[in-house]
C-alpha cells in the first residue's frame, strides 16, 4: 500500500551501468567439468520418446547434457560413453556421428 515513486536505488550508483553484472546461464561440460555459458556448449538431449539428438538451439524438451564443441571434450565423451551415462540411454548413431565429426573437425578424406 505504501509504494513510493522515488526509490533510493536510483541515485548514487557512481555511474556504473547495471549491464555490467549481466548473468549468463552456464552449464557444466561432461568431459572437462568446466562451467561454461550454455551457448558455448553443445547440448545433447534425450527426448521424451527416448531418442537422442544434438540440440543446437537448446530448446528441445527432454533431459539434456552438455559438452564443449572441441575435439578433446567430444572425443572424451564418446570414448568414455559419458553422454550415455548422463542421459541414461544409448546415443543414436546420428548423434555419435555428429559429435565425432565435431571432434575431428572438417573431414576432407573421402
Q: Any idea what the Cα angle at residue 54 is, between residues 47 and 96, rounded to 5°?
A: 105
Site for Zn ion in 72-91 (CB under 5 A): 73
- Asked if 44 interacts with Zn ion (CB under 5 A), we say no
CA pair distance 64, 87, nearest whole angstrom: 7
Among 44, 45, 68, 95, binds Zn ion (CB under 5 A): 68
Which of 89, 100, 93 is closest to 65 using CA atoms? 89
Nearer to Zn ion, 27 or 46 (CB): 27
- Asked if 60 interacts with Zn ion (CB under 5 A), we say no
Task: Give me the residues that bind Zn ion (CB under 5 A), please.
Answer: 29, 31-32, 68, 73
Amino acid at each position: 500500500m505504501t509504494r513510493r515513486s522515488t526509490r533510493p536505488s536510483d541515485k548514487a550508483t557512481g555511474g556504473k551501468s547495471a549491464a555490467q553484472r549481466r548473468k549468463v546461464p552456464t552449464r557444466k561440460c561432461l568431459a572437462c567439468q568446466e562451467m561454461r555459458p550454455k551457448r558455448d556448449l553443445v547440448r545433447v538431449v534425450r527426448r521424451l520418446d527416448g531418442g537422442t539428438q544434438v540440440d543446437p538451439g537448446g530448446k528441445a524438451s527432454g533431459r539434456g547434457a552438455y559438452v564443449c564443441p572441441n575435439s578433446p571434450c567430444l572425443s572424451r565423451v564418446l570414448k568414455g560413453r559419458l553422454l550415455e551415462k548422463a542421459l541414461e540411454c544409448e546415443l543414436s548413431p546420428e548423434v555419435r556421428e555428429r559429435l565425432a565429426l565435431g571432434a575431428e573437425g572438417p573431414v576432407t578424406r573421402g
